[in-house]
Structure 1
């Protein structure tokens, strides 16, 4: 199975790394700082075993942080304690997009971090079959 590692961009990567540590218990594993400008050209961190990368904006390379509330990508983070981590992220400065709720496919909620990235914190239900999902959602979706 292939692995995809998200590579985020922030207007202030140092502050983003502090937020991820406070909100998600992130552990920074690498940081490359330009001594001339102080910008972070690359950093890596882990959250609940997932590896993520992040850097400051790089306009000359066409790399920009998302505008608040406008992002083309959401990060889905599977965790054991959705409610606890969600509350921790909100206390650290995230904003609620969709509160934590139960659904046929698990428990989860959506939030925006202060740097414009959208996160779905989720704890999936134990092996739910497509038939069970079809029954749970009714006519709301066609599941194939």
Structure 2
């Protein structure tokens, strides 16, 4: 099995600019006018042009203001402060302070299209680090 990540966006060019600047991705293939493959992660990220108000899953209209979703992406980074600075400069919005735990540090952000992301910097053995150690 292979995992592909698809993200609905209202504007492919704006989304490409954001994801390349914020996360260091680079364009792969264009699959017609409405799909752009971005590379640089373990799996390809596909930007899908879907206008606001068009019908998505369960007959729900797409909206691109900040929205809750039970699914979000975590990007593991070596330097959280540098990654957060880069994402904010590209147009991300930080949601709350940087949080610290025994396994590492985390920053929650939203992209300009309302999708939530977490930037994670693991410390020590990451999630395998014993609690309270």
Q: TM-score, normalised to structure 1's length?
A: 0.74
For normalisation by structure 2, the TM-score amounts to 0.79
* Runs of 4+ displaced beyond 6 Å: none
- Inter-partner Cα distance in structure 1 for 2:62 and 2:25: 20
CA-based RMSD? 2.5
- 1:45 is the counterpart of 2:38: yes
The runs of 5 or more residues in structure 1 that have no matched partner are: 35-39, 137-144
Deviation at 1:89, TM superposition (A): 0.8
1:76 to 70, 74, 77: 74
Matches within 5 A, 1:17-36: 17-34=16-33
Query: Residues 52 and 124 of structure 1: is their aligned pair in 2 closer, same or farther, counting only changes over 3 Å?
Result: same
1:9 counterpart residue number: 8
Q: Which sections of structure 2, spanning at least 5 residues, go unmatched?
A: none
Q: Mark the structure with the bigger radius of gyration.
A: 1
Q: Which has the higher strand share?
A: 1
